[in-house]
Structure 1
């Protein structure tokens, strides 16, 4: 499946809201919930506009992972960008029906290539939950190095989890 990354736009709000709502249960098995209020369209719309403002200021980059028909398959974000030190923080999610197809791996590769080509970000930090083996594999396949595990233990779906931390330094091929 051919995919591409497209910067987030105002016009994406409705389709993105549907994507998030349709995948809520799946996402909340792996990551902490965004809360019920997030799934109210008016709240979502305000948050969407806030993300677009962050993107316009350069402190974050929000991308949609899309297929050749422009269907949203997932999201890929760089947030809390520190331009002075060249550091960004990665976040991504792929819809449940699109998992297991290599989409996250290809999308992250596209993002890493974009970052390398631009040359401004030299380090990307990422974290995932200890139960998200697929995400751990995606990070490792894209030259991220596991650099630590949180001491904090938290519960999602009655499972005790920890955050695992990863870094990409741009030094790899």
Structure 2
């Protein structure tokens, strides 16, 4: 069983393993984090936790029963009741509905726990999987943009008590 958990200090080893194992897979669709991310991981993890404690971001992991990280679902740039959604799922867990369930859970928490009313997201136009996740979870396409120099789409989801 996979559970969504708010990022904690003890997630660091499993999160680093997740990022290392999936580095090439993620780099195919999002910018690579760079070598410094991995060599300075402990310090970066501490920074993220401090930013989360300050309310600037809300970071989450999708962990299996053994504590292995299978995905991340984050709300970043929290401001004025809104935030930007970002997520990534391990290659070995892709296609199992984890992104969809994780996004649904984070949207519910965004409303009930973090007091947000709007969540925004972006994805490249050619990322059909990510677009499908956003559409399945109640996001509405709101326009075109660019992401990583590629054509992309913007999405928005209004949050409510009934639908998170």
TM-score, normalising length: structure 1: 0.86
Which residues in structure 2 correspond to 1:13-162 (within 5 Å)?
A: 13-40=12-39, 43-82=40-79, 85-118=80-113, 120-150=115-145, 154=149, 161-162=150-151
Contact 1:76 1:108 in 2 (8 A): yes
RMSD: 1.7
Q: 1:117 to 1:24 in 2, by over 3 A?
A: same
SS in 2 for 1:33: coil
Q: 1:46 to 1:104 in 2, by over 3 A?
A: same
- The CA deviation at 1:15 is 1.6
- The CA deviation at 1:103 is 0.6
Given the alignment of the two structures, is residue 5 of structure 1 paired with residue 4 of structure 2, yes or no?
A: yes
Q: 1:153 to 1:63 in 2, by over 3 A?
A: closer
- The CA deviation at 1:125 is 0.8
- The CA deviation at 1:138 is 0.4
Q: Which runs of 5+ in 2 are unaligned?
A: none
Deviating beyond 4 angstroms after TM superposition, the runs of 4 or more aligned structure 1 residues are none
Q: 1:86 to 1:34 in 2, by over 3 A?
A: same
- The CA deviation at 1:114 is 1.8
Contact 2:31 2:148 in 1 (8 A): no
- The CA deviation at 1:69 is 2.9
CA–CA separation in structure 2 for the residues paired with 1:59 and 1:94: 23
Task: Tell me whether 52-61 or 107-116 shows the greater mean CA deviation.
Answer: 107-116
Contact 2:146 2:153 in 1 (8 A): no
CA–CA separation in structure 2 for the residues paired with 1:134 and 1:152: 16
Give the paired residue count. 162
Q: 1:149 to 1:14 in 2, by over 3 A?
A: same
